[in-house]
């Protein structure tokens, strides 16, 4: 029987733990504060940012959403980052990506105080992850790790194949699962758009993690019998039968792949909810570190 790994189930466990930590912080007069900066009016970003704010409030954290116009200059954005770096009520913040054309994302990320970098995008935080001594973990890779760990999936010595090499998902997920520790210790291979005979690698995966941004790219013939498949893709495809003319699918051809797997994440409802959850976990951690209050 294939097990469905659902983000709402795994995140519910983590949220319950976070609520206790938040309550303890608040009992010591520390309210964890998370700010999100949104530049411009990208529709997907607006939805993500709204969800992040709502989740903060649901958990009893302070939420600050800063909307800046699409024609914001680099200097204006850098000034906002500096202001948030210096605001003691804000323990963590992020600048939602992508930024409008003309703004330098790398410069913005590097300007964020690493102690407030709850996305874990700053080179210093990614470097700490690389050497196995992280303060924060990037949200989606951390979410994948928690899904594997809390679903009782053995990772020690397993062949993990990561499809995709983005800085947000592919590369940090590979580095994380390579580390020593529970839910890690894997033999990791990263494949990408320039890999020759990519299916030769995916077919050897005990755990296949796909973050390539191509709808239903992984087909049943590319997956080993009994593999665990984690699908990070969220692609909107046209669907005339759907009320709004489209629907979300992953990077994995779920309907045809699922029966071959021992466990799989659906889209939507799989990895998606984990990303916000692990962002909240980073915000709580930032508040604990800054205040020295830890339950």
List of residues contacting ligand GUN (CB under 6 A): 94-97, 119, 139, 275
Catalytic residue among 80, 96, 179, 253: 96
- The string of DSSP letters for 43-59 reads HHHHHHHHHHHHHHHHT
The residue whose two tokens read 């010595």 is: 157
Helix spans in 28-114 (H) = 43-58, 74-86, 105-111
Rounded to whole angstroms, how far apart are CA atoms 216 and 251?
A: 4
In the complex, the smallest distance separating the C-beta of residue 275 from ligand GUN, rounded to whole angstroms, is: 6
Task: Name which of 138 and 183 has its Cβ closer to ligand GUN.
Answer: 138
52 counts as catalytic: yes
> Counting beta carbons within 10 angstroms of the beta carbon of residue 118, is it exposed (0 to 12), middle (13 to 18) or buried (19 or more)?
buried
Is the distance from CB of 177 to CB of 147 less than 8 angstroms? Answer: no
Cα separation, 81 vs 86, in Å, equals 9
Min dist CB 201 to ligand GUN, Å, is 26
Q: Which of 52, 80, 158, 285 is catalytic?
A: 52
User: Which residue sits closest to ligand GUN, CB atoms considered?
Assistant: 97
The CB-of-114 to ligand GUN minimum distance in angstroms stands at 15
Closer Cβ to ligand GUN, 95 or 161, answer by number: 95
Beta carbon nearer to ligand GUN, 5 or 38: 38
Query: What distance in Å separates the CA atoms of residue 168 and residue 292, rounded to the nearest whole number?
Result: 29
Name the residue with tokens 């709580």: 284
Residue number with CB closer to ligand GUN (176 or 205): 176
Do 52 and 276 touch, CB atoms closer than 8 A? yes
Q: Is 258 a catalytic residue?
A: no
The single residue of 117, 119, 206, 253 carrying the catalytic annotation is 119
Q: What is the smallest separation between the CB atom of 97 and ligand GUN, expressed in angstroms?
A: 4
Catalytic-residue membership of 62: no
What is the rounded distance in angstroms from the CA atom of residue 260 to the CA atom of residue 283? 38
CA-to-CA distance for 92 and 290, rounded, in angstroms? 10
CB of 226 to ligand GUN, least distance (A): 31
The gap between the terminal CA atoms of the chain, to the nearest Å, is: 39
Q: Which is nearer to ligand GUN, 174 or 198 (CB)?
A: 174
Sign, CA dihedral 76-64-108-110, equals positive
- Which residues participate in catalysis according to the annotation? 52, 96, 119
């Amino acid at each position: 029987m294939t097990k469905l790994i659902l983000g709402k189930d795994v995140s519910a466990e983590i949220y319950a733990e976070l609520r206790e930590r938040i309550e303890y912080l608040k009992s010591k007069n520390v309210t964890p504060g998370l700010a999100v900066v949104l530049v411009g009016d990208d529709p997907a970003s607006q939805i993500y940012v709204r969800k992040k704010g709502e989740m903060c409030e649901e958990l009893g954290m302070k939420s600050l959403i800063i909307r800046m116009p699409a024609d914001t200059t680099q200097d204006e954005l850098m000034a906002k980052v500096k202001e948030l770096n210096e605001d003691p009520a804000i323990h963590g913040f992020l600048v939602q990506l992508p930024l409008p054309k003309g703004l330098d994302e790398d410069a913005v990320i590097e300007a964020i105080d690493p102690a407030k970098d709850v996305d874990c995008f700053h080179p210093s935080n990614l470097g700490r992850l690389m050497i196995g001594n992280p303060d924060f973990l990037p949200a989606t890779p951390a979410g994948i790790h928690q899904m594997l760990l809390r679903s009782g999936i053995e990772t020690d010595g397993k062949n993990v194949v990561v499809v995709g090499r983005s800085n947000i998902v592919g590369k940090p997920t590979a580095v994380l699962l390579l580390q020593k520790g529970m839910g890690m210790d894997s033999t990791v291979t990263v494949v990408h758009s320039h890999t020759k005979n990519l299916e030769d690698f995916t077919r050897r995966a005990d755990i296949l993690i796909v973050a390539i941004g191509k709808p239903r790219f992984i087909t049943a013939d590319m997956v080993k019998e009994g593999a665990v498949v984690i699908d990070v893709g969220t692609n909107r495809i046209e669907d005339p039968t759907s009320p709004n003319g489209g629907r979300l699918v992953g990077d994995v051809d779920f309907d045809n792949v699922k029966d071959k797997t021992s466990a799989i994440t659906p889209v939507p409802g799989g990895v998606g909810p984990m990303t916000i959850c692990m962002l909240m976990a980073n915000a709580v951690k930032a508040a604990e570190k800054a205040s020295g209050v830890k339950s």
